[in-house]
Chain A
Amino acid sequence: MVSHASISRKIFVVCNYVFLMALSLLCVLPLVHIFAVSLSSGAAASAGIVKLWPVEFTTAAYQNIFDKPQYFTAFWVSVKRVLLGTGINLLLTITAAYPLSKDSSYFRPRTVYVWIFVITMLFSGGLIPWFMTIKATGLMDSIWALVLPSAVPVFNVILLLNFFRSLPKELEESARIDGAGHFMILWKFYVPLSLPALATITLFSMVGHWNSWFDGLILMNNPDNYPLQTFLQTIVISKDPRFLSAQEAELLLQMSDRTSTAAQIYVAALPILLVYPFLQRFFVKGIVMGSVKE
């Protein structure tokens, strides 16, 4: 692309960089602060004197998490859940978004179908019926309880169907003329052409699965089946001072709720944070047209 570099353009570019850098700083500083808190002593944290660097450095908050053997089983449950859950989500999202992306002149029932999907996004019977349904289908204490009930992410389906609609129609038509069926068209054209969109919904699915903790708590009766976030939610430092043993009182000095929650954020979020930069390589501009030209 030819650049018409003018003075005003240069000023814009510089301002743009400065603004974006300031913005990212604004987002990072609180995280640095939280990281510093997680590595500070409970006393320092409760004094509120930790800024961007740990005070009275200690890893007690992390140790308190890692010392529990449950951490590793919970981590494994989470990994399984994300892999299984995202896989199923992705499969169902793609297969549902494709027919729904068809024009109603071609696929008349699509509008009815779309609303069947949308309604589920808006209405729910509440916690108790939801729980009883899952119990009735025999999923309690199984990994499927965390995966199946949320197997159709309607928000993602709608997002993807919009992306599908914006794909050039010529390709599909020529393929149809060559005798390709819907499954073939979906697999050969739609999927490869929508990688950025698929990367986006994959990310949403993974983050969603990784972060949810309440369903794990309600649907697992044995704490050994807790996913990581549920497990972390249950680590609370007892503040019932009457029953504080000598050891606990000491532990409370080294760490506090605040350092502990701060550490949890890092323990919990780090694995999922690493996913995004990896998925970013699918965000290549002009990928659609590039492949059309071939």
Chain B
Amino acid sequence: MKKRLLKMGLSIALVSALSFMTACGGNSSNQPQGETSAPTEKTGETPTDPMAKYDPPIELTTIRSVSNIKFDEGESIDKNAVYDAYEKDLGIKIKNSWVSDKYSEKLKISIASNNIPDFFRVSASELQELQEADMIADVTDIFDKYATPKTKEWFNLDGGRQLSTATFDNRLMAFPATDNPYNSSSYLWIRKDWLEKLGLPKPQTMQDVIKIAEEFTKQDPSGTGKTYAFALNSDYINGGAYDLQGFFNGYHAYPGIWVKDSSGKLMFGTIMPEMKQALKQLQDMYKAGMIDPEFAVKDQDKENELVVAGKIGIAYGAFWQSIWPLQSAAVQNGKLAQDWEAYPIVSIDDNPAKTATGIGVDSYFVVSKKAKHPEAVMKIINKWIEIQTSSRDDNKVYMFGKSEVDKSALLWKINPTVFFAQDENLPAGKLLPKAIEAKDPSLLGTNPEINLRYKRVQQYLAGDLNMWNEWAISKPGGSFAIMNQYDQEKRYQVDEFYGTLTPAMLEMKGILGEKTKETFTKIIMNKVSVDEFDKFVEEWKKLGGEQMTKEANEWYETVKK
């Protein structure tokens, strides 16, 4: 990879006006893209300028949703300073084929009726579908030729794992919407005020957590007569909030992701023997009245009613759980009613608990095979990466709109392609606690997001309880600090499978997931014995799990080399 980067740098140095002419001239022909291995350039070896401006401007169509953007006066998703800036800087006119906040519903119709724009965002399964239907362009060569060194670095920070989730038979078919995998890590949120009230120490082991849960249920610190220990919603395997992923991880079980077994082969975490032990514990706790008996019919909002009512003291969930839903429980009637605190997840034995995370990509940008200027999409992406990696003043319009001042109006969302750094939020966990402790914002660096968070913490310290959620995340010992701690202690269990979905996965994942949920829920609710787990594992294998595992391992062989 290093070598290729170097080559790339050289070719950029050789950029000439001529090459830029060929860049757009070569593509205006109607020759179908992506069918040959060198689709964009007839001239092959000619070095190209990744950021050359199109003159006259070209048009690219896309589709958008506008969720929550607060547009400046007179602007809209169709016409705004950000789109204008792309036209001015790159000579690319962006035109929306349609705009809707029910994006996926509409996208499905567009795909099925073979009616797609030049580039757009899709999910992993839609990517698969488009690839199978041969509707999207091979962007391998475009990435090679037109991605700036910075862009290449950006996409390869994690060693190319996220890229490989979009790579079919060694051809890159989409640009993964990079993001950090750590956001999906788990945290143990506990009511600190109850710990103090009952004189309990902060949790160091799973045994501590079970003890705390028992004490909460027995001593009823809520005074309501009925205190449950755990907040649990019906989608508890991968819920993000009020889920159990962190609990299972404490037993070294990793449901939903692929892990290496003792023989070095890939195994699906859901059927690990360790799961049985965890489920057994949950069943015991359910029987002991430590879990809301109605959790199976409740979504997070519904379960949150119990939390707000002060009947629950422990909630596994993501780092942002303080924003939603815990904020509504913590701050009530203008007072801090419940003092929730994030702790690192704990282990049942001497091995430290690792937190399960995915690869960190859940959507992709694809280019239509019919697009006349597929490389223009790469230029747009280059621009976004440039905006993220340099603090040039003339780029402010892309982040903050025509006023170029940060009004937290989310105007950066107008950009047609958005990528996050693969290590995003790790620096925040390092910098923020230090700066808050030292009361020195100069330690924060230039990242606007981190600076905004600091500002919000200051608001909390000045008495604005609406900012409690930020405090719980960014403070020393907050969830960001823990995210960083996980990294330092090498406690991330990242999904070992990062290929494109195999046929069995596509076909069987839904069915297997359902079987899993049904069995686990019944076990927890003590409707069936915990030994049902063994039967489930057999059935899981028969229903296609075995085939899925086989295919996953075949893929694994190809990357091990």
Contacts and interface: CB of A to CB of B under 8 A. Distances in A.
Q: Do chains A and B touch in the complex (CB under 8 A)?
A: yes
Interface of A: 42-43, 46-49, 127-128, 131-132, 135, 217-218, 221-223, 233-236, 238-239, 241-250, 252-253, 256-258
A43 B67 contact: no
Contacts of B207: none
Given A217-B102, A234-B101, A253-B466, A43 B109 contact: no
Interface residues on B, range: 35 or more
B67 A238 contact: yes
Contacts of A49: 309
B249 to A, nearest CB: 21
A218 to B, nearest CB: 6
A281 to B, nearest CB: 39
B427 to A, nearest CB: 15
B419 interface: no
Contact of B410 (A132, A233, A236, A245): A245
Contact of A46 (B100, B106, B301, B466): B301
Chain A contact residues, majority secondary structure: helix
A246 B99 CA distance: 25
B148 interface: no
Contact of B308 (A43, A243, A248): A43
B113 A128 contact: yes
Interface stretch (B23-31, B166-174, B322-330, B385-393): B322-330
B70 to A, nearest CB: 8
B334 to A, nearest CB: 11
A128 B183 CA distance: 37
Interface string B47-85: 000000000000000000001101000000000000000
A23 B260 CA distance: 61
Given A128-B112, A241-B323, A243-B410, A248 B68 contact: yes
12 contacts: A46-B301, A46-B325, A47-B308, A128-B113, A132-B113, A217-B102, A217-B106, A221-B99, A222-B98, A236-B67, A247-B70, A253-B327
Given A43-B308, A46-B301, A243-B410, 7 more contacts: A46-B308, A46-B325, A46-B328, A222-B98, A223-B100, A236-B101, A239-B324
- Residue with the highest number of chain B CB atoms closer than 10 Å, among A46, A128, A235, A247: A46
Contacts of B325: 46
A193 to B, nearest CB: 45
Given A132-B113, A218-B106, A250 B466 contact: yes
Interface in B291-335: 301-302, 304-305, 308-309, 320, 323-325, 327-328, 332
B301 A258 contact: yes
Given A46-B301, A238-B68, A253-B328, A233 B320 contact: no
Contact of A223 (B99, B320, B452, B467): B99
B468 to A, nearest CB: 10
A236 B100 CA distance: 12
A213 to B, nearest CB: 9
B308 A48 contact: yes
Given A248-B68, A249-B466, A250-B466, A43 B332 contact: yes
A66 to B, nearest CB: 16
B323 A46 contact: no
A132 B102 CA distance: 19
Contacts of B332: 43, 47
A47 B305 contact: yes
A43 B305 CA distance: 10
A48 B320 contact: no
Contact of B320 (A222, A235, A241, A246): A241
A48 B327 CA distance: 15
Contacts of A135: 113, 115
Contacts of A131: 109, 112-113
A217 B106 CA distance: 7
Nearest to A233: B102
Contacts of A252: 324, 327
Contacts of B183: 242
Interface of B: 67-68, 70, 97-102, 105-106, 109, 112-113, 115, 183, 301-302, 304-305, 308-309, 320, 323-325, 327-328, 332, 408-410, 413, 452, 456, 466-467, 469
Nearest to B306: A48
A214 to B, nearest CB: 8
- Residue with the highest number of chain A CB atoms closer than 10 Å, among B305, B324, B410, B413: B324
Contacts of B99: 221-223
Contacts of A127: 109, 112
Contacts of B106: 217-218
A241 B470 CA distance: 11
Nearest to A235: B101
Contacts of B101: 223, 234-236
B238 to A, nearest CB: 15
A42 B328 contact: yes
B321 to A, nearest CB: 8
B149 to A, nearest CB: 28
B68 to A, nearest CB: 5
Nearest to B409: A245
Contacts of A236: 67, 101
Contact of B301 (A223, A234, A243, A256): A256
A127 B328 CA distance: 41
A234 B305 contact: no
A27 B466 CA distance: 38
A131 B98 CA distance: 15
A135 B113 CA distance: 10
A48 B310 CA distance: 12
A230 to B, nearest CB: 8
User: Nearest 3 pairs between A and B by C-beta?
Assistant: A48-B305, A221-B98, A47-B308
A139 B324 CA distance: 42
B323 A47 contact: no
A204 B473 CA distance: 52
B305 A46 contact: yes
B421 to A, nearest CB: 13
Given A131-B113, A241-B320, A247-B408, A46 B456 contact: no
B320 A242 contact: yes
B424 to A, nearest CB: 9
A244 B323 contact: yes
A37 to B, nearest CB: 12
A221 B64 CA distance: 11
Nearest to B240: A241
Contacts of B466: 249-250, 253
A265 to B, nearest CB: 17
A241 B102 contact: no
A241 B324 contact: yes
A250 B101 CA distance: 21
Contacts of A250: 466
Contacts of B102: 217, 233-234
B337 to A, nearest CB: 10
A218 B410 CA distance: 27
